[in-house]
Amino acid sequence: MLTYTPPSLHLHLHLHRYPHSTTISSSLHHHPNHPTTTAPDPVLRIHNSKTTSFLHHRQPATTTTNETKNPPQEYENDHHHHRDSEDKPKTPPHILPPQEKQNILEMSLVTKRGPQFPGSIYANSLPSLQSVIQTQNEDDEDDEEVMIRRALDIRRKVTAEVFKAAMKKGKFGITYSTNLVNRLPDFIDHVMIEAAALKRSPEFKDSTFNLRAKLVIDHSNVVPLIRWLKHNNLSYPKIAKLICMSKGNLDSIRRLVEWLKTVYVKGEFLGATLLKSGDDILHRSLEELDEIVDYLESNGVRRDWIGFVISRCPRLLSYSMEEVKTRVDFYLNMGMNENDFGTMVFDYPGVLGYFTLEEMNQKVNYLKEFGLSTEDVGKLLAFRPQLMGCSIEERWKPLVKYLYYLGISRDGMRRMLTIKPMIFCFNFEATIAPKVQFFRDIGVREDAIGNMLVKFPPLLTYSLHKKIRPVVIYLMTKAGVTEKDIGKVIALGPELLGCNIAKTLEVNVKYFLSLGIRVRQLGEMIGDFPKLLRYKVDLLYPKYQYLRRTMVRPLQDVIEFPRFFSYSLEERIIPRNKIMVENRVNFKLRYMLACTDEEFNQRVADKVERRRRFESGRMDDAVSGSQMAEGTLGKTASSSLSS
């Protein structure tokens, strides 16, 4: 005979029978039209074959076997146990495992659930959140803190999903939205806090968390701001960092971006400028920033340069006006005028913002140790401000020690510093040492390397594999320079290594070969005078024509003295040739040109005097000879007469 069991007793028996089982809800409990004045107890039903198989699958084998055996008997036992327990003290409620507690939190905090239908089974349906709180051990504070942290994590996930939904509505892709939201932990927390605060308002007292989070996101206009920043060529990592920097004040981002555009900061540099300007840049007033710009402009930095300077040195915007004035005066006090200062800042904007005043003073004092005055250092920094970016300990001191090892004195270093200051910005181990070793390998003497570097400092700025080595190979293969002489050629004429092969060296080599000079002879000429290949053909041709046609000298004279092409045709060759013609003297080209005007005139005078003496000596000899001849004839005549 079937007996009626009240729903409350049914629920109690079910919980005692299946304390860890899955709750099975009826469609009656979730019917939308079911009248409910108070929260009704869940109405449980007898399992059908499908739900029973589901429970068998979910529960352990031993438990399922015991539970499915003789259900009527178990029901009676549970019924008697319930009546007997009415007179016994109540036992403490069952403590749920941590995983089930987390599931309860997720189900209670996530407002959206899956579809419900008659006979549906909710695998995640667990006792209510209140039951979990009641079963918590009051002394277990650590466990309570863990539960609170998990609850916050779940709220963050919900807020992130609401944010992604807003991004999707704003026509952003799923991948872009996910990548951006994952980089916005601070802003997600801001939205979560604001949404929780809205619950205090009577208007949103009964609204869901999702609705309140959506209202906060819409009211902040963050999605249109993201669209606008993306349109200004900002990547999503930069957009995310900017939004987190704003601390909820998103209007400050748009305000500062618009100001940067007014000072000519280009779109591709907007994000980097904002991010590198300091954490407080979004909270500075535009009046302060305008004052900094006006001061730089009054000291030589042109208005259309300001955007370039700020984008390369965003830290300037984080300084106070007093700090900016101190840094500007540091350079102006070294004798720079406004034009020098403006071009210096444009060439290397970091000279104003990347270093402390102490570091700047240390570097200036170190440069003075080479014998430079304060004004000389000012001119040097105006020409090459990148020197301020070099470290004294890591860059300058090792280089100075290496140059001293090569035999270069302090005066030689000062010459190198003033002619090519970029040398002191190089890492000598990676740039200078390989070139010096190459010079040793081709035969340049050790004592000549230092003199060569001092004579032509730009040599150290050339690429070893793209410039120096190809020129050496060309000289040895096409210009006739022997392996024995190549070291001497480079030591005497290091400027050759800076010549363009196609436009200078090859043109000159072809011209000399066209004159009838052999390759071997050309190599000897270059070994004697390496500068020969550096002249333009337009300057060589008139000199050679004058030598051959006017001076009427053979080609061999040029081969023996190739320095002939280094002298000015109008100022030296023609005037001295006229002097020799007028005085009827002749010299080799070496003695004709390789001397001063006083020495040349003295040589001409000596030559004329020797010729005069020679000619007068011949006349004396001729007179004495004629007198002797006349005396002989007189004697002969007198003897003939006497006879």
Q: What confidence tens digit (pLDDT) does each residue in 430-454 have? A: 889 999 999 999 999 988 999 999 9
By the 8 A CB rule, do 387 and 380 touch?
yes
Least confident of 103-117, 123-137, 310-324, 384-398: 123-137
Residue 88 confidence class, pLDDT cut points 50, 70, 90: very low
Smallest Cα–Cα separation from 271: which of 300, 313, 233? 233
- Top-ranked range on mean pLDDT: pick from 201-205, 229-233, 482-486: 482-486
Residue 254 confidence class, pLDDT cut points 50, 70, 90: confident
pLDDT for 633 beyond 70: no
Q: List the structure tokens of 32.
A: 């939308």
Q: What is the pLDDT of residue 55?
A: 55
Q: What is the DSSP letter of 534?
A: G
For residues 236-260, average pLDDT: 85
Angle between helices 397-405 and 410-419 (to 10 degrees): 120
Angle between helices 141-169 and 185-198 (to 10 degrees): 100
Q: What is the pLDDT of residue 440?
A: 93
**H or E element at residue 349:** none
For residues 182-197, average pLDDT: 88
Q: What is the pLDDT of residue 209?
A: 86
Q: List the structure tokens of 246.
A: 């704003």
For residues 262-286, average pLDDT: 82
Q: What is the pLDDT of residue 538?
A: 92
For residues 280-299, average pLDDT: 88
Q: What is the pLDDT of residue 624?
A: 56
For residues 607-633, average pLDDT: 65
Q: How far apart are CA 589 and CA 586, in angstroms?
A: 9
Q: What is the pTM of this model?
A: 0.64
Q: What is the pLDDT of residue 102?
A: 59
For residues 341-360, average pLDDT: 90
Q: How far apart are CA 503 and CA 536, in angstroms?
A: 10
Residue 405 confidence class, pLDDT cut points 50, 70, 90: very high
Q: What is the pLDDT of residue 490?
A: 94
Q: Which residues pair with 24 in a beta bridge?
A: 121
Q: How far apart are CA 606 and CA 612, in angstroms?
A: 10
pLDDT for 625 beyond 60: no
Residue 97 confidence class, pLDDT cut points 50, 70, 90: low
Q: List the structure tokens of 489.
A: 């050629």
Q: What is the pLDDT of residue 511?
A: 94
By the 8 A CB rule, do 422 and 384 touch?
yes
Least confident of 47-56, 211-220, 586-595: 47-56
Residues whose CB falls within 8 Å of the CB of residue 109, separated by 6 or more in sequence, listed in order: 151, 154, 155, 158, 209
pLDDT, the chain, mean: 78
pLDDT for 567 beyond 50: yes
**H or E element at residue 29:** none
Q: How far apart are CA 400 and CA 433, in angstroms?
A: 13
Q: What is the pLDDT of residue 465?
A: 93
Q: What is the pLDDT of residue 478?
A: 92
pLDDT for 71 beyond 80: no
Percent of the chain with pLDDT over 70: 74
pLDDT for 14 beyond 90: no
Residue 473 confidence class, pLDDT cut points 50, 70, 90: very high
Q: What is the pLDDT of residue 61?
A: 47
Q: What is the pLDDT of residue 399?
A: 92
Q: How far apart are CA 314 and CA 319, in angstroms?
A: 10
Least confident of 31-45, 132-146, 181-195, 583-597: 31-45
> Residue 278: left if φ>0, alpha if ψ -120 to 50, beta else—which one?
left
Q: List the structure tokens of 33.
A: 């039209």
Q: What is the pLDDT of residue 90?
A: 45
Residue 121's φ and ψ, nearest 5 degrees, are -115, 130
